[in-house]
Structure 1
């Protein structure tokens, strides 16, 4: 059957159905715009990769009007288009999704503060409890490679709700566990369900905010994601300190928060993926009119779910090993993420051993992480001004000014932390080291998203999925050897060793700033974006 596409307007649709309804009242002109590529950056999906394997012709000229395909789209200004949601609705969605990120990040750090009572109650070794911490991060690393494509098929809102419910149930399982293997399994599954909070929020932000509006919403998301471990540890320290609460109530606290989130999601969140909304609208029109010609363009262009999953699993790995920009940035941010989890694992024993802090006081030290995130955001605001000033001349490399600063701050913070871990040095010295480290981590976290997004354009989701895999795998591995390393090398030389490794990585952003265009010119993927600029 020959096929053509005909635009449908609201009035034409009323004439055809002889019935006005909210479902069909705003059917627009034929789909002229693609889904913005930037909405794919943070959730690791691969639809754009499929589309760019070769242009797929779906039109043939036909004079048989009865057989033509009628593609539908939102009209300009249609309130059902996520891009046209009110500011109140956009912020409700952004804050709700970011709150999910805060809860899951909080759980990643708060868990470690309950080690003392957990190992006592479950008669477990410290390394077994640490495995539970690493399994949570492993879930974050691996599962999004498979599940990130599900939003193509089912939409974002169902993924958020199902993930939050699953994450809540796994925290209940942890709180009720009677042995350490149950805790380890529950933590792995909690990380698997909670990974949606990291993988999909950036895409949700891009769905509803215009490019020039995304700075503040993305900053809110980044602050919640990175300050979350600090917030969780502050609360967990004092919960662990109370003999009537201890480690189980650290889990129950997150169950309560996730329960509130699940209650809020249907109220404050709406589906934001326009392709899914158009597909639903097309199905309603086909059912209402009995006319099978009504279709959303994505129904003909989208690859199968199986193909999307295959690409989302393999393309990030290919970029990770074959692209110098992705490989170098992923190595750097992966090491930095490992340092974050090493800090979470070691701050408690370090402050307890060196300054005799109790668990509550140790938890309060993590306030420094929160302050460091806000300091990093202040620097990032200035970075955005530099980017606006130098982008025309430097291109994507104008994103790297703050990253160059972070490259120096990271080892500096570790050396401060290392050589202030003496009883004779006031505890504020170690706190300042943590502050500098967290400031640099925040800057690096934002830089890796913005720089890789600019460099790889339509392939950015795969590039970012590669660095996310590297980052979370490092976060899985580092806690497993951190305490043993400190036992052998002491806090001074153990942290100093991390500092020396960070020094070796200082050249990465400087080399990319200097030679980035030449490196990208030889890239199979990034060069396609350069040629379009």
Structure 2
């Protein structure tokens, strides 16, 4: 039980109130002999020596990430300690704090399977909680129009502003989570607390402008997990196993928009549109309480940063530092500002691969939201579903997301895993065959749905077609998110934040004209137009499979050392 509570906000609170007596770290109970010997003599080392130690014990491979220990650092320090006065003048008397060994239990890569699954569940629940906030509102759109005397399109702006908010938010929150002084967990819980609080004025909005403003703010503050969740999964799993976690995360991300109309439909019909917001507040409040007690920090940089701080306090030796501290000390305020505010945009618009993939995923996301706008036209207008039962039409999307998991996991295990190198690495381009399959399914779904949605064909047929869309979306999202994390591991959170921005901007804009397009063109031709648009993007994964490596090797930010 203690292992589940370590490094949670609940544990931080106990330690702040009662000192380290509760949920103490091992190094606070029994300082290892390796540490005692390391601080016995204050070995001095220049910046170059610090770099050499970091290189020796922190290579970016799954095996070596967990092999750094103070004993190995001490050996390297002793070997490289300078013997000249110049080195002393620099004041670089630093001892590097790393992992205690290859089985260090504080290293997220070494956590037990059950603990990883528990953290994965909470990550997926948080993702589901925020994502459902977009579509749960759609059930109340007619009520918003009636109460505030605005058009259907104006009421739909409440959906688009929420989506726009959670597209812009990660451009700030995600880079902050990469700072070793902060980490991921405080960002998640702090923003989720704001998310819960802001639901109250949203539900109690007295005019249209107030409702729209708070819908944007709630999307903005709830957004970090939607981009950084992929980086959290990368904290827990080596690249060879990361795809499984990304897939599970993607299922929850796909299921949430599909569940929103179902959950909100009954509430809006019985109690009015405000109850859709109250439902969101109840769900997010439960998630907040769970994360407060049980969600640990997963960022290795932050874990080592706090370990170094603890050891400095215990030993009264100011020269013990983690590599992340050493890196931050050399950064100016301008450097930090650039990292937080500029880097996500630079990566998104200066890297051709990132931009193309983000636009493609943005299109898929836009198709999802514009397509959802056709469901009332099809299932209420054509098949005469009751409004409160409209959400049942989205079950196909939900079922498709879960049905694809077993065969996809089998593909990962039997086909993709054998392609990994001995160092546990895989060329990002090897992930593209799955995306090719997904890209071909998208136009098929659009044509299927458009030309089977008619009174002479049973309603189950278009619902089956909708299930294929979630299969396609899951394959594409999984491929793109893993590709970006593999190709840009150093900037994973920032790259994924850029992906979230682009897809959210597409998803926010398209629903505004979806209703008019379906009414003017008809369901069949409007869906055909979307299918043809999807066809135009099919060559992208094929092109990247053949030429992506060459483009990636020309980038200064992308990783080059895949064998």
TM-score range with shorter-chain normalisation?
A: 0.7 to 0.9
Range moving further from structure 2, 347-356 or 95-104 = 347-356
Structure 2 counterpart SS, 1:357: coil
Q: Secondary structure at the match of 1:295?
A: strand
1:114 is aligned to: 140
Q: What is residue 68 of structure 1 aligned with on the other side? A: 93
Correspondence 1:455 to 2:473: no
Aligned to 2:242: 214
Instruction: Quote the residue 1:42 is aligned against.
Output: none
The Cα shift of 1:379 comes to: 4.5
Could you tell me how far 1:482 is from its partner in structure 2? 0.9
* Residue 386 (1) aligns with residue 415 (2): yes
Cα displacement string for residues 86-115 of structure 1 (whole angstroms, at most 9, x for unaligned residues): 333322222112100011111111111111
Distance change in 2, residues 1:427/1:512 (3 Å): same
Call closer, same or farther: CA 1:433–1:161 in 2, change over 3 Å. Answer: same
Task: Assess, with a 3 A threshold, how the Cα gap between structure 1 residues 488 and 321 changes in structure 2: closer, same or farther.
Answer: same
User: Residues 291, 520 of structure 1: CA spacing in aligned structure 2 closer, same or farther, 3 A cutoff?
Assistant: closer
Q: Distance in 2 between matches of 1:342 and 1:282?
A: 50
Query: How many equivalent pairs are there?
Result: 491
**Any idea what SS the aligned residue of 1:335 has?**
helix
* C-alpha displacement of 1:390: 5.2
Query: Take 1:432 and 1:275, find their aligned partners in 2: how far apart are those partners?
Result: 45
What residue number does 1:48 align with?
none
Q: TM-score, normalized by length of structure 2?
A: 0.80
Matching residue within 468, 488, 502 for 1:470? 502
What is the 5 A alignment of 1:41-440? 61-62=82-83, 68-76=93-101, 77-151=103-177, 152=179, 153-242=181-270, 245-302=271-328, 303=331, 307-384=335-412, 385-389=414-418, 395-440=427-472
CA RMSD of aligned residues (A): 2.9
Q: Deviations over 1:193-245 (max 9, x none)?
A: 11112122222222233333434332221111111111222211222232xx2
**Range 59-68 or range 148-157, more displaced:** 59-68
| 1:461, distance to aligned residue in structure 2 (A) | 4.5
Relative distance call for 1:514 and 1:155 in structure 2 (3 A) is closer
Partners of 2:394 and 2:231 lie apart in 1 by 29
Q: Which runs of 5+ in 1 are unaligned?
A: 1-8, 19-29, 39-58
Contact 1:237 1:364 in 2 (8 A): no
> Which one of the candidate residues 551, 554, 561 is aligned to 1:519?
551
Q: Is the 8 A contact 2:134 2:162 kept in 1?
A: yes
Q: Which is further off, 455-464 or 132-141?
A: 455-464
| 1:496 aligned residue | 528
Q: Cα offset for 1:130?
A: 1.1
Secondary structure of 1:200's counterpart equals helix
Unaligned residue ranges in structure 2 (runs of 5+): 1-30, 41-52, 63-79
User: 1:168 offset after TM fit, Å?
Assistant: 0.9
Going from structure 1 to structure 2, the CA distance change for 1:33 and 1:237 (only over 3 Å counts) comes to: farther
SS of alignment partner, residue 114 of structure 1: helix
Please state whether the residue corresponding to 2:96 is helix, strand or coil: strand
